[in-house]
Chain A
Amino acid sequence: MIVEITGLRKIYEGKQRVVAVDGIDLGVREGEIYGLLGPNGAGKTTTISVCTTRALPSEGVVRINGIDVVKSAAVARTCIGVVPQYNTLDRACTIFENINFHCRYFGFSRADAKQRTEQLLEQFHLSERAGAYPSQLSGGLAQRVQIARAIAHRPKVLFLDEPSAGLDPQSRIAMWEAVSGLRKEGITVVLTTHYMEEADELCDRVAIIDHGKILVEDTPAALKQSIGAQRLYDLDLRSEGDHAALTALLEQLAGVTSVESLPSGLRIFADSADGLLAGIVNTANPYGLRDLRITETSLETVFIKLTGRDLRE
């Protein structure tokens, strides 16, 4: 395991005591892309902050490449690359200088730093903007520079905190490509996100975390399978109130695994079975069926099922 988190707890003492991380254990294998999913305030960023030596844990141990991030923070940083949520590019320096000085901080000689910077600018299609200042860049471009800078010193693990927050769809796809490309270089990636599509697309394994605890950890495919259904049928019903009778009828249909209530009607979890659609429509019609939506089960289904529908801060 290249990232090993054992019994991690982080409590912010103060007027309002906040338990941000409440006993997390997890391991990330070398070379994988690992996703931490969770609603806002679930403890994702705090976990990343501790892993990247920017916060001290209240309890527990984090090792990156076998190095304790609390006891040997400075040495651990040689193995860590970080792309934080916000743009932390050095506003007083150009794009080239941002990467170049980053290399110098990590002990590169002048010539090596220059060569590495030029190589990264090319790899991330930034060569044309080498002389631009961070304030002149769009959000997507700034994000690419931050990723290039973060891997400049060849870290073993790259931490990305909400990498696609605030990016347009094109920039997001470009960012995904950049991150997938890192795998070829053998860099392990740990990212946090609440875009399920992103986790599904990118991650080898994901952990869903809420209230500072890990609820479930597996591959995206296995998590989707854990729902026990391939499709969701969302029924909009005209009549309000109790749908117990309909629920009982639907549950008897072949292929239906479970039925749960939605504010506007019912949600049916089902495997694909011949004639199921017709069966559902026929059964629900007398109960005032207005509309029907069919979706494949996604990570989002798993996420909502585990973390609930309540709005977070």
Chain B
Amino acid sequence: MTTAIAIPPQAKISKASLYTRAFLGLYLRDLYVLRRELFPFAIRVCMNPLLFLFVFTYVIPGMSSHGGTAAMNPSAALANSGISYSTVLLPGLMAVGIMFSGIAAVALPLAVEFGSTREIDDRVMCPLPVAFVAIEKIIFSAMQSVFAACIVYPLAFYVPAVHPTTHVASWPFLIVVVVLASLTAGALGLTIGTSVKPSQIGLIFGVVVIPITFLGCVYYPWALLSHIKWLQYGVLINPIVYMSEGLRAALTPTLDHMDPAVIVLMLCVALTTLTWLGMRGFLRRVIG
């Protein structure tokens, strides 16, 4: 019954090799499952930016030219300064796409896996330190966030009636920002997924996703908050601010944006803090 299969004699292979194989195995599993869910993935990524762009850069601007008031039109106020609203939205919506992918790829599945099914147990039993199971989650989620950013960009560019003005001055900076933002989103997902009770997962949208999006300088540049000082400084604890501002600095530098060095530094701080928090929560949930 037991045929001899040439498996690596586990005790003899090095720890590094053992861990690497386990890590790759986990990654492979996630890729495989994602491949089967490509269509829902695409819908999830596209729906929010598509509707937002459609309403705010296509439907509403049309209203003002048909007798609506300019007050209804967020693009009208900015238009006076020679900036189209679609230029403001492009980096912001990419940041939302990145952030939301992190939550959808890590927080929601984790809440289920920690909940009734405890599916996570088999993966935790891999020959890999438990912390790396969490790191795999972050990295896999970051990959999805990068895809999401790549999908949102053409949408945000082509859907608006007035195309945004984009210019990439430094590709390395753009890549650094996208990668850091994506990893931070994964770490945020890990923190949320491990700190929320499975029964309260529905609250995530109301309590976390919507506030950090609306107060994340997604729909307006940070510099324009200068007339509400307390808000301008208050939002600085929100990691989405640095994602939006980072993409603004990298893609639409004509808009006012934060100093690139500050953005990279703060993304690193957010990534470290959230990874630490998420990891702590993960270990606490997994190891009794």
Interface residues of A (CB under 8 A from B): 46, 49, 52-56, 73-75, 77-80, 82, 84, 86-93, 97-98, 101-102, 104-108, 112, 115-116, 119, 123, 149, 153-154, 184-185
Contact = CB atoms under 8 A, between A and B. Distances in A.
Q: Which 5 A-B pairs have the closest CB atoms?
A: A55-B288, A104-B25, A107-B21, A105-B25, A78-B10
Nearest to B37: A92
Contact of B7 (A80, A87, A98, A154): A154
Interface in B221-267: none
13 contacts: A74-B128, A74-B129, A86-B118, A105-B25, A106-B25, A107-B18, A107-B21, A107-B22, A112-B5, A115-B5, A119-B1, A119-B3, A153-B7
Contact of A88 (B10, B29, B118): B118
Interface string B100-129: 000000000000000001111111111111
Contact of A107 (B13, B120, B124): B13
Given A91-B117, A102-B122, A185 B2 contact: yes
A56 B288 contact: yes
A75 B129 CA distance: 9
Given A56-B288, A75-B18, A92-B33, A107 B125 contact: no
Given A78-B10, A90-B122, A106-B7, 5 more contacts: A74-B126, A74-B129, A101-B28, A106-B22, A154-B7
Contacts of B121: 54, 82, 84, 88
A105 B126 contact: yes
Interface residues of B, number: 41
B11 interface: yes
A74 B127 contact: yes
A253 to B, nearest CB: 53
Contacts of B38: none
B287 interface: yes
A86 B121 CA distance: 10
A54 B122 CA distance: 11
A107 B127 contact: yes
A116 B288 contact: no
A308 to B, nearest CB: 27
B22 A105 contact: yes
Contact of A93 (B11, B29, B124, B125): B29
B28 A112 contact: no
A279 to B, nearest CB: 54
B30 to A, nearest CB: 9
